[in-house]
Amino acid sequence: MNQRITVSKTTASRLDTVDFNRLGFGLQFSDHMFQMVYEDGRWHSPEIIPYQPIPHEPANTTLHYGQTVFEGLKAFYAKSGVNVFRPDKHATRLLNSCERMCIPVFEKEYFTEAIDLLVQIDYDWIPRQRGHALYIRPLIYSIGNFLGVKESDTYRFLIMTSPVASYYEEGLSPVKILATDKYVRAVKGGTGSAKTAGNYAASLYAAREAKKMGYTQVLWLDAIHHEYIEEVGTMNIFFLINDELVTPPLSGTILPGVTRDSVLTLGREWGMNVSEREISIKEVFAAAKDGTLQEMFGTGTAAVISPVGKLRYRDDEVIINNFEIGPVAQKFYDEITAIQYGEKEDAHGWIHHVEIASEVLA
């Protein structure tokens, strides 16, 4: 990095206000955050400062036009330091999202160096309990102040962290999913493959309806035929049908999940029959009825692996694997989390290890 990150530490830590046995997800935030700004044609002034509110004018362009992108990754407590899972892959996805949303890109080293320093400073915020982690949320948004649909010329890049437990209350217990052909999440040529706020705002109404009906999340179908499966609102989706591991292809409407990529890599290494292909909701229900649908599970940074135990589409509903986590989903979860916590060798170079000073580890 050609600019040194300056550090201003808090004088009043909030660590003792957090009950690490009742974390939830994304409810508490660590003492510090990273920020830098883009103006006059360059990113500059990288710094770590105490976590704090940021004032904005009512004319802030992000509030009006949604020019913003974000990421989500995790840091895990390990005896020898901290393991950050696949930060390079997340950085690449963030930069791709920036390009799609007309936000100036930056050198990847800003991403990893800022995370390294932030994790070291807030090391005590990393949960020690197995299954918990420090969630890392990079966020980039426009900070121009004007009314008019055009690119801003100023931006802020933030990274905040949050100690978290499981994303879903069910944990590794199966979730209930509702497939919808009433609403759509993304269309080809749109922003479906970017991690931008508008995609998530568009999903909220359908998710609210699903929750009223007793379902955890929505399974989205394609916007043209309302037939081919795309993803769940918070995760990519996999099916095990007659020993074929199937997930929809990346066609521009699906977020390229980092955990999705990890599962595909491991599945192929294990000799599984792995397919990235179109799969219709009709095929899934036909497989459920003839007994060839063995498992269904979601993948994502927040949940890692989330088994699906019940799937509904219109007036049809099926129970999958007796509403229990299947052996394949369990194997992926065990393998990925063992790598994340440093309990198993990382043969893929997925772990970015952050060294913590010996006096801090003591």
Residue 53 confidence class, pLDDT cut points 50, 70, 90: very high
Pair (181, 292) in one structural domain: yes
Q: Identify whether 235 is part of a domain.
A: yes
> Residue 337 has which token pair?
């989390």
CATH number of the domain residue 46 falls in:
3.30.470.10
- For residue 330, being part of any structural domain is answered with no
> Are 316 and 357 within one domain?
no
In a domain, 304, yes or no: yes
How far apart, in whole angstroms, are the C-alpha atoms of residue 238 and residue 234?
A: 13
* 87-100 vs 108-121: helix crossing angle, rounded to 10: 130
Tell me what the mean pLDDT of segment 323-338 comes to: 97
Q: How many domains does the chain have?
A: 2
Whether residue 333 lies inside any domain: the answer is no
| Residue 111: alpha-carbon gap to chain centroid | 16
Q: Which of 16, 14, 48 is nearest to 29 (CA)?
A: 14
For the segment 10-23, the average pLDDT, to the nearest whole number, is 95
Q: What is the pLDDT of residues 203-255, one digit of tens each?
A: 999 999 999 999 999 999 999 999 999 999 889 999 999 999 999 999 999 99
- Is the confidence at residue 359, as pLDDT, over 60? no
Residue 101's nearest CA partner among 3, 191, 223, 235 is: 191
CA distance 305 to 300: 7
Q: What percent of the chain has pLDDT over 70?
A: 98
Q: Are residues 190 and 315 in the same domain?
A: yes
Token pair, residue 210, equals 């699903």
* Residue 362: pLDDT over 50: no
CA dihedral 311, 263, 337, 350 (to 10 degrees): -150
Residue 357 lies in a domain: yes
Are 15 and 151 in the same domain? Answer: yes
**CATH number of the domain to which 290 belongs:** 3.20.10.10
Q: What is the pTM of this model?
A: 0.95
Residues 146 and 179 occupy one common structural domain: no
Q: Strand pairing of 6-7 and 42-50?
A: parallel
On whether residue 338 sits in a domain, the answer given is no
CA distance 81 to 90: 21
The band of 361, judged by pLDDT with boundaries at 50, 70 and 90, is very low
Whether residue 276 sits in one domain with residue 182? yes
* Structure confidence by residue, pLDDT tens digits, 96-135: 999 999 999 999 988 999 999 999 999 999 999 999 999 9
Same domain, yes or no: 25 and 55: yes
Q: Are residues 179 and 161 in the same domain?
A: no
1 is a domain residue: no
Question: pLDDT per residue over 333-343, tens digit each?
Answer: 999 999 999 99
Q: Are residues 28 and 144 in the same domain?
A: yes
Phi, psi of 188 (to 5 degrees): -60, 135
Query: Which range of residues forms the domain containing residue 199?
Result: 175-325
For residue 248, give the DSSP letter: -
pLDDT of residue 2: 65
Q: Is residue 286 part of a domain?
A: yes
Assess whether 186 and 155 both reside in one domain: no
Determine contact, residues 260/247, Cβ cutoff 8 Å.
yes
Q: Are 246 and 307 contained in the same domain?
A: yes
Q: Do both 67 and 185 map to the same domain?
A: no
Share in percent of the chain as helix, strand, coil (round to 5): 25, 30, 40
Least confident of 31-40, 107-116, 223-232, 277-286: 107-116
